[in-house]
Amino acid sequence: MDTLIVVESHCGNTWRIAEAIASSIPDATVMRVDDAPHIIDPRVTTLIVGAPTHAFTLSTADSRESARQRTTSGAKESRQSGFHPSRTGLREWIDSASIPQGTRVAAFDTCVKGVGPLFGRAAKKANKLLAKKGIHASATETFWVTGDDHLHDGELDRAAVWATAFSKS
Ligand SMILES: Cc1cc2nc3c(=O)[nH]c(=O)nc-3n(C[C@H](O)[C@H](O)[C@H](O)COP(=O)(O)O)c2cc1C
């Protein structure tokens, strides 16, 4: 495994983006944030973290509870494909993770188009938490969902293109 993708997702959209990213990077593994190791194996040369934007930042226990109570059509679609919602969050995972210096890192998030980036987004907060550990992300991207939790058309393709560009940079 060269690339580890650690993803938090409650309705499945961020998970689907992570899978699209993995499909474009050789030897990439996607792990739910609940299952991801807290000590990153030095053989992992690239770490990509992804999370949905909640209240303009990374999720908290309260916002995850709100997400759990949503029964959107987007969530139902994702669950049909075997997706399981995260119980924990990327914020907590980054706080506890031991990431070797020199690991290449990128962060992405999902946001509702038009609202999310105005005041803040999950990937920016992830970058701040990583920076506190001396880890500086070399790429950051946002992928768009609709207000009822569907990915906008073309976002899976855009994720694949972004991943290819990042892996070759
Ligand atoms: C509690 C909660 C707060 C949210 N806050 C924001 C927000 O501040 N900005 C935004 O663009 N989207 C917000 N959203 C929408 C999420 O970003 C969207 O549901 C998420 O990207 C879907 O990802 P997932 O399917 O992987 O869970 C919020 C959703 C929930 C449940």
> What structural domains and CATH numbers belong to the chain?
3-168 (3.40.50.360)
Q: What angle do CA 12, 13, 19 make, to 5 degrees?
A: 90
Q: Please return the burial class of 91, using the count of CB atoms within 10 Å of its CB with bins 0-12, 13-18 and 19+.
A: buried
Torsion of CA 54, 60, 66, 68, to 10 degrees: 100
Contact 148, 74 (CB under 8 A): yes
Reported confidence tier of residue 51, pLDDT bands at 50, 70, 90: very high
Nearest to 146, CA basis, from 115, 107, 109, 122: 115
Q: Give CA–CA dist 162/1, Å, rounded.
A: 20
- Candidate from 17, 32, 53 with most ligand 1 atoms within 8 A of CB, to mutate: 53
Summarised one tens digit per residue, pLDDT across range 102-142 is: 999 999 999 998 765 667 999 999 999 999 999 999 999 99
Summarised one tens digit per residue, pLDDT across range 84-94 is: 899 999 999 99
Tokens of 131: 């920076």
Q: Is 82's pLDDT higher than 80?
A: no
Question: What's the whole-number mean pLDDT along residues 22-41?
Answer: 95
Ligand 1 binding site (Cβ under 6 Å of any ligand atom): 9-15, 52-56, 63, 66-67, 70, 110-112, 115-116, 145, 149
Reported confidence tier of residue 79, pLDDT bands at 50, 70, 90: low
Atom of ligand 1 nearest to the CA of 64: 1
Question: What's the whole-number mean pLDDT along residues 56-62?
Answer: 97
pLDDT of residue 1: 60
The CA distances from residue 131 to 28, 124, 126, 136, in Å, are 23, 10, 9, 5
